[in-house]
Amino acid sequence: MLKQEKQWNLWKKMMSTRGMGQVITVTVGLILLCIVFGILNPIFFSSKNISNLLRQIAPILLIGIGQSYVLITGNIDLSIGSVIGMSTMISATLMTRGVSPWTAVVITLFCCLLVGLGNGLLVSLCKLPPFIATLGTMTIARGIAQIANNNYNTDSIGEAAQGFRDFFYYGRTFNVFNTIWIGLVLWMVFNFILNRTRTGRHIYAVGSNLEASKLSGVNTVSVITKAYLVSAFCSTVVGLIFCATSGMGAMDAGNSYELYAVAASVIGGVSTLGGQGLLLGTVIGASIWGVLQNGLQFAGAPVAIRNIIIGIIVVVSVLLDIIVRSGSFKRMKEEKKGAPATTLVKSVD
Amino acid sequence: MNEKIVHMENISKSFPGVKALDNVSFELCAGEVMALLGENGAGKSTLMKILSGVYTRDQGTVTISGETVGDLTPKSAEHHGVAIIHQELNMCPHLSVAENMFLGKESVLPGGILNNHSMKDEARKVLRELQIDMDVDALVGDLPVSKQQMVEIAKALSSHARILIMDEPTSALTNKEIDDLFIIINRLKSQGHGIVYISHRLEELKHIVDRVTVMRDGRFITKGSFDSFTMDQIISHMVGREITNQFPRLDTEAGKEIFEVRDLNAGRMVRDVSFTLREGEIVGIAGLMGAGRTETTRAIFGIDHRESGQFFLDGKEIFISSPGSAISQGIVLAPEDRKKDGLCTKLSIRENIALPNLDTLCNPLGVVNRGKERELVDRTRKLFSVKMSDQEAPAASLSGGNQQKIVVGKWLARNSRVVMFDEPTRGIDVAAKVEIYNLMNDLKQKGIAVLFVSSEMPEIMGISDRVIVMCDGRITGEFAAGDMSQEKIMEAATHFEDKGINS
């Protein structure tokens, strides 16, 4: 076998991995963006700005991971933003009432994971459309965030919580902000789970063809529920980061973050139809998001313009992917989507 | 006689409002291929879904390899060595061959970490035993249907299945691929596997089948060795009455030219296609899978992009920019895949029939005239003897044959000049096929030009007045009814251009 041919095969294999093509395209896009912003304003590349930028990206990456898990199973999680709010409010309220920060974190995690469990079971067991189910839990979770402190934002979580604030936001380890470490470590863990474990394999399988997975003996209820739990977990961590950042609980924290999470995933090549996507792409997607926010701010663009530009980027990146991909499994995919759940009726055949 | 590996006795199963199986018995021996035959709705699939654990039975006993089993689940059926190759292939398109083969039974290291290496090795081993040449890393969604089917078979064998159920395995394969499949089936048979073979293509049974079981209306009708029946006997057992003429050809005088296609090019699959259709004739397009037949109809109908091509209707050039403009000029297409392209399965029967005719049913404001609509639906229903309890029922609730009648019927309400059918009889039973043929004959008598694509040689030779053969995107042969033979058609269908490689 010729060396060249070997390399070509390796390349082909890499490109045929789920969504690798788009990851490469958007990585090139990300690099170009950085160059443009760097030229427009040299401060962009200062170590201080890069450090801040990465700290801004981390929360978007985290919710992106959660949303990617859910999207790959072929579902969607709209409750992410509200779970962030819930997490911030519950943890802050507990801390202002004198509960020790780490106890507060455990209680918060427990409450928020219940939302994930609810999402998972509603979608997988009760077969509610994911859009509706998580729209419901989104509203409920926001309500809980508001009720946590009797419809008020909380006071400062105080001196006692300084360790908590350092752990999630202000502190550094090896001279890198802890927030960045949290994002990195969780990304590595969830990336490993998705790519190397049985659960991960089943997440792709369920999103690719639910019926086939079921017939192959995959416990689809458990797989989908796990994906929603991951999403709720990531959102909770982001809520805690927000609480640590501001030192208080805000009821509207995380508003519309579920859509930012969709954007990060989708820019990174995760398919909203399920079965396809890489967490590597989600990193790039979240980074593009962060770089655009940061760079445009440096360039003096007002928030309104930033929103418009980011919206365009989301649409264009997905459009590009559709054009680039030759639609090889369009047929199977459509068949799957097109065939209604009429197994019972069909059985009479 | 070999060991009996499956024995199902007195099985009954009801669905709300339907008795799908009524006291059915079935047996299968090791090392044999048992054909399970019957019309759509006869209960074959239901019976096999009970064996494979998808449904639970209401009554009866199931014995597998001498062991009486209780209620089966897909998992426990697999444990007993039962595997089903579904009619609509059930694979995850985004996963690789090896990943699909081990889906649900991955080999893992402690902590749920996948042991990809051992799975790939095992996958290669199974494929090698079947003598299938395939890359285990290839994504299943990128493989042709025939290869996907091989993956399903390999998947079944990798779980040590002894009982393989194949539901219409050849409906999407080319003749060459069918031959390959039969080689594999015969190999499995000699290895002692028992195979249940469900198919509507009766002519292919003689190559592989040892025994047949016939069902009708959810009941067991007869069984016996394949050689002890004639084809006509099998058919009459299936339909419960004699079918006098499987291919009711109607001889008419071909009239003037109605429609002409000139120099049609659309992508790689349609190249320099030119032909004419005359009044009162049925023209069949034969060819292998992937010869560009479907693509040709799609290009004419304005679905796919064309590089070039002119159309003439009654001698005048017409321009087709979209399916809408084709329909308004009297050219219609009944597509190949009922569920995907032909029907809105969630909409009611009435809505499906009315859909392409709304322009004639609406007043200038776009409000549907309910009276006209009802009349249209009634007319279509009578024309076809579609069995439907209620025209408000969803199209998905109809059997395959009746669904096809709706797909075809919805076009007949308008004054079409050219009707194109793509595989109109795929997956429907003999009696329903004859009705479709009669319908094509009706159209022909009304002076409508009929073009139909089919992969079934007997049907294309039995019904067409003229056959166009395509290969690799080009027209490679044309035969009149008196002049065609299977050999001539096959020769033209495999007339590849000399490219050095056999594509």
Q: Please tell me which residue of chain B has the smallest CA distance to A17.
A: B139
Residues of chain B neighbouring A198 (CB-CB closer than 8 A): 106, 108, 112-114
Query: How close B179 comes to chain A (CA, Å)?
Result: 25
The DSSP code for B342 is I
Q: For the beta carbon of residue A140, count every other beta carbon within 10 angstroms.
A: 15
Q: What is the mean pLDDT of residues B461-479?
A: 86
B225 membership: H or E segment, kind and range? strand B219-225
From CA B247, how far away is CA B244, in angstroms rounded? 9
Rounded to whole angstroms, what are the CA distances from A328 to A39, A251, B86, B141? 40, 46, 21, 7
The pLDDT value given to residue A20: 74
Q: Please tell me which residue of chain A has the smallest CA distance to B401.
A: A349
Query: How close B152 comes to chain A (CA, Å)?
Result: 11
Cross-chain residue pair A335–B394, CB shorter than 8 Å: no
Task: Kindly tell me if the per-residue pLDDT of B2 is higher than 80.
Answer: no
Q: Of A214, A329, A339, which is closest to B141 when you measure between CB atoms?
A: A329
Domains by residue range for chain B, with CATH: 4-239 (3.40.50.300), 243-330+417-497 (3.40.50.300), 339-414 (no CATH)
From CA B241, how far away is CA B67, in angstroms rounded? 38
Residues of chain A neighbouring B90 (CB-CB closer than 8 A): 209, 211-212, 215
**Number of Cβ pairs < 8 A linking chain A and chain B:** 129
Task: Kindly tell me if the per-residue pLDDT of A141 is higher than 90.
Answer: yes
Contact A23, A281 (CB under 8 A): yes
From CA B485, how far away is CA B479, in angstroms rounded? 9
Residues of chain A neighbouring B141 (CB-CB closer than 8 A): 328-329, 332
3-state secondary structure of B399: coil
B372 pLDDT band, cuts 50/70/90, is confident
The pLDDT value given to residue A58: 93
Structure tokens at B258: 């109605």
H runs (alpha helix) in B262-399? 293-300, 323-328, 349-354, 358-361, 370-384
Query: How close A102 comes to chain B (CA, Å)?
Result: 28
Which range among B60-69, B429-438, B450-459 shows the weakest confidence by mean pLDDT?
B429-438
Cross-chain residue pair A216–B105, CB shorter than 8 Å: yes
Query: How close B136 comes to chain A (CA, Å)?
Result: 11
Query: How close A294 comes to chain B (CA, Å)?
Result: 35
Beta-ladder partners of B475:
B470
Residues of chain B neighbouring A328 (CB-CB closer than 8 A): 141-142
Is A204 within 8 Å of chain B by CB?
A: yes
Cross-chain residue pair A201–B78, CB shorter than 8 Å: no
Task: Name every residue whose Cβ is closer than 8 Å to that of residue B241 and which is 6 or more positions away in sequence.
Answer: none
Cross-chain residue pair B106–A196, CB shorter than 8 Å: no
From CA B177, how far away is CA B165, in angstroms rounded? 19
Cross-chain residue pair B396–A340, CB shorter than 8 Å: yes
The pLDDT value given to residue A345: 30
Residues of chain A neighbouring B339 (CB-CB closer than 8 A): 335, 338-339
Cross-chain residue pair B90–A340, CB shorter than 8 Å: no
Q: Please tell me which residue of chain B has the smallest CA distance to A271.
A: B94
Cross-chain residue pair B394–A213, CB shorter than 8 Å: no
Residues of chain A neighbouring B345 (CB-CB closer than 8 A): 338-340, 342
Nearest to B346 by CA among A339, A336, A123, A129: A339
Nearest to B87 by CA among B128, B129, B40: B40
Task: Kindly tell me if the per-residue pLDDT of B257 is higher than 50.
Answer: yes
Q: Of B88, B114, B396, which is closest to A345 when you measure between CB atoms?
A: B396
The arrangement of strands across the sheet holding B257-266 comes to B270-278, B257-266, B308-313, B316-318
Structure tokens at B102: 């081990």
Partner B, chain A 295-334, Cβ-Cβ below 8 Å = 328-329, 331-334
The pLDDT value given to residue A239: 93
Cross-chain residue pair B93–A196, CB shorter than 8 Å: no
Cross-chain residue pair A198–B108, CB shorter than 8 Å: yes
Task: Kindly tell me if the per-residue pLDDT of B161 is higher than 60.
Answer: yes
Q: What is the ipTM of this complex?
A: 0.74
Task: Kindly tell me if the per-residue pLDDT of A150 is higher than 70.
Answer: yes
Query: How close A339 comes to chain B (CA, Å)?
Result: 7
Q: Which of B82, B92, B347, B397 to mutate to test the interface with A (most CBs of A within 10 A)?
A: B92
Rounded to whole angstroms, what are the CA distances from A36 to A26, A30, A52, A175, A312? 15, 10, 19, 27, 18
Phi, psi of A67 (to 5 degrees): -65, -35
B73 membership: H or E segment, kind and range? none
A285-289, B132-136, B200-204, B427-431, range with greatest mean pLDDT? A285-289
Q: What is the mean pLDDT of residues A18-28?
A: 77
Task: Kindly tell me if the per-residue pLDDT of A14 is higher than 80.
Answer: no
A106 pLDDT band, cuts 50/70/90, is very high
Contact B250, B446 (CB under 8 A): no
Which range among A47-51, A151-155, B71-75, B293-297 shows the weakest confidence by mean pLDDT?
B71-75
Cross-chain residue pair A334–B340, CB shorter than 8 Å: yes
Of residues A96 and B324, more confidently modeled:
A96
> How confident is the model over A58-82, as pLDDT tens digits?
999 999 999 999 999 999 999 999 9
Which range among A9-18, A210-219, B180-189, B361-370 shows the weakest confidence by mean pLDDT?
A9-18
The pLDDT value given to residue B480: 85
Q: Please tell me which residue of chain B has the smallest CA distance to A212.
A: B90
> How confident is the model over A312-342, as pLDDT tens digits?
887 887 777 666 654 444 444 443 433 333 2
From CA B218, how far away is CA B21, in angstroms rounded? 4
The pLDDT value given to residue A76: 92
Query: How close A239 comes to chain B (CA, Å)?
Result: 29
- Mean pLDDT value across chain B: 81
Q: What is the mean pLDDT of residues B113-122?
A: 88
From CA A130, how far away is CA A81, in angstroms rounded? 16
Domains by residue range for chain A, with CATH: 22-325 (1.10.3470)
Nearest to B468 by CA among B477, B459, B480: B477
Structure tokens at B443: 């159209």
